[in-house]
Chains A and B, each alone.
Chain A
Amino acid sequence: MSGALYVGVDLGSSATKCVVLDETTTLVGYHVVKSGFDYVEAGQVALHHALAKAEGEPADVAYCVSTGYGRERVALANRRVTEITCHARGAREWYPAVRNIIDVGGQDTKVIRLSEGGRMADYRMNAKCAAGTGTFLESTAHKLDLSLQQLDELAMTSTEPAVVNSYCTVFAGTEVIERIKEGQPARDIAMGLFRSIATRVSEMLAVRDGAVAVTGGVAAHCRALVRALEEVLETEVLLPPMPQYAGAFGAALLATETNDAERSSTSHVAHR
């Protein structure tokens, strides 16, 4: 492989994603691994496989931007940028006209608002509790002895979603038990869980103006989330081709955009 490569590594709480772009910002490699206990290792493994797909090697990497909770642990990173900026950048590339981006991640959910010119104008993160995040879905699915995929499949057959209101993951679990006791069908309870996430998201969406884009691992795996968002927000929900990679893609795009001056500058995020 010849030519410089630009890398984005998104070291999230559940999964580590890596995207490799070439000089023309064409996607040439990507990979995802579980973050597990060793973030450094996860970053290296994701990078290794993504570079292999791109037929490149570490020496070809012209610039690397890391993002996500573990962004400090990516040794190769020249610059560290938060997942908020990276998701915004990634989603904007896919949908230049979209003003609201919803990222449902493992630990938190974010709603990012872009200005007309595509700049980040505002953002909000869910407060404290896991309700409204991927962890909430996973833990509830686990209690019901289902995988996330099974929960999603079940929810997609729902005709009358059950009501799961609670702000708290533990209380939501209790509510699920209540619904089971009442004899509500499993499919409707499953959809109720996705609806509760969508309701939390709706609380963070200050301006509603047209389609929203949804990114993050949960959206990648759960069609029911997209449906729930569409129903609750009453708007078109755009699911990009690689929702889980939005952060890493945005990071890689930022890597290509970092100019020479910035590279040699002592920006606060560089080489920390």
Chain B
Amino acid sequence: MSATAAKRIKIKSQERLGALMREHFLDLDEAARDPQRRVAWCTSVGPCEILTAMGFETYFPENHGALLGARRVSHELIPRAVAIGYCAESCSYMTSDIGSTLAGVSPLTEAFGIDGPPNPDLLVYSTNQCREVQDWWGFHGRRTDAAVMGVCPPSHLGEVTREHVAFVSGLLERLVEKIEHRFGATLDRDRLKEVVALSSRASALWRQVLDTARARPAALTFFDGVIHMAPVILMRGSQKAIDYYETLLAELNQRIADGVGGIPEERFRIYWEGMPIWPKVRELAEKFFDLRTVVAASTYCNSWAFDEYDGGDPIEWMARTSIEIFINRDEVSKQKFLSEMFNRFEIDGAIFHNARTCPNNTNSRFGMAQRVRDEMDMPVLVLDGDLSDVRFFSTAQTMTNIEAFIEQLEECKR
């Protein structure tokens, strides 16, 4: 069977995911209108479990940024943010989200029939991923009555020590105090334990889902992963995410049993380092499909695969997982992680996405791609692009680059 004749076999759970997302956003919309309920916005690897345990409904603006990119409207909205002083080369999640707010349009309207993001009562960020979120949340803080509260943990860590964890636990405790003070609520520690246990369970299942790409052929690809990761970000800390991943995992395990892969007759296995290129996800998926090459693993999808919770102090678990994430680590730790991933997924070549507007998620900027090539003997390719803004992306050049990379891998194999 030739690749062109082969058809992509859809992951059936995707339908369920659509319904789940719909339900989630309709409920958020309702919560924002209900004076009895409160909505907190949170960064994607921020302290959302505390917010859930304190009764807030959580909303994640980065998901909105991704949605704006995937719907290919970012480049139309970014100019609105640039016009009020946000640099066109700063985070395009941020600039497109700000642009969307200024223009009063949101892809959530078309997708779920709601006006747009739910109005926030509270805006919480953690700079464990980047400083940009602080500025982004600041914009929304100035335009609404919502309180902005941030956690700034130590970054670029090598080994994560007990001292680091204790320090961040302290930051989280102070955050709790501030929320309690502002909203007159109390954090129920048992409830937090429950939420953290649910979060950890969803995350563990997510890791197992990603691991199905270790099979040959890989049961899912990076391009499937970026769609199916939504629940582990938006709904972690809820049973809904767990139920979803149990179903998805069963389906993917069945695929493995049946020898069905995301790419039939896969020839090469690629690692994707850096952000997705949201407006081009489909085109890239098709390109790799044609090349019979599977993007089997990525740093991005793994960002929500946390260590399991052991039933101890939930704040401590949150502190540790929040600073252990790849993006918050030093170069040595990052390279060690990459090396483990290459072995785990039997990777033939690594693609580094140089996302123009996201320096923190772009590791090719400081020579890591070359070091990976030289030290790990791994063929590497650096692709220029952006997470959302297509103006930084050339389709023809990128596709040629990818094809040439596969030709290089073919030559290596000969």
A residues with CB within 8 A of B: 69, 81-85, 107-108, 119-125, 127-128, 206, 266, 268-269, 272
Chain B contacts for A82, CB-based, 8 A: 400, 403-404, 407
B211 contacts partner chain A, Cβ-Cβ < 8 Å: no
Which residues of chain A are within 8 angstroms of B400 by Cβ–Cβ distance?
A: 69, 82-84, 125
Question: Which chain A residue has the least Cβ–Cβ distance from B391?
Answer: A128
Give the chain B neighbours of A125 by CB distance below 8 A: 397, 400-401
**Total CB contacts across the A-B interface at under 8 A:** 55
B210 to chain A, nearest CB (A): 26
- Closest CB of chain B to A102's CB: distance in Å? 15
- Of chain A, the residue at the smallest CB distance from B401 is A125
Question: Would you list which residues of chain B between 379 and 399 have a CB under 8 Å from chain A?
Answer: 379-380, 382, 384, 392, 394, 396-397
**B310 contacts A by Cβ under 8 Å:** no
Bound complex: CA A127 to CA B354 (Å): 10
Contact for B382 among A107, A124, A272, CB less than 8 A: A124
If A84-B400, A128-B384, A268-B290 touch, whether A122 touches B2 (CB-CB below 8 Å) is no
Alpha-carbon separation in the docked complex, A123 to B407 (Å): 11
Contact between A127 and B3, CB atoms less than 8 A apart: no
Give min CB distance, B269 to chain A, whole Å.
15
B375 within 8 A of partner (CB): no
B2 adjacent to A84 (CB under 8 Å): no
Determine whether the beta carbon of B4 is less than 8 Å from that of A272. yes
The answer on a CB contact under 8 Å between A266 and B404 is no
Q: Evaluate whether A206 and B370 lie within 8 angstroms (CB atoms) in the complex, with A69-B396, A128-B394, A266-B2 already known.
A: yes
User: What is the minimal beta-carbon distance from A264 to any residue of chain B, in angstroms?
Assistant: 12
Assembly CA distance A123 to B4 (angstroms): 28
A82 to B405 CA separation, bound complex (whole angstroms): 9
Rounded to whole angstroms, the CA-CA distance of A120 and B403 in the bound complex is 13
Q: Beta-carbon contacts of B87-119 to A below 8 Å, as 1s and 0s? A: 000000000000000000000000000000000
Asked if residues B290 and A119 are in contact (CB atoms below 8 Å), the reply is no
Q: Which residues of B contact A122 (CB under 8 A)?
A: 373, 379-380, 408
Closest to A128 in B: B384
Measured in the bound complex, the distance between the Cα atoms of B373 and A107 in whole Å is: 27
**Closest CB of chain A to B235's CB: distance in Å?**
37
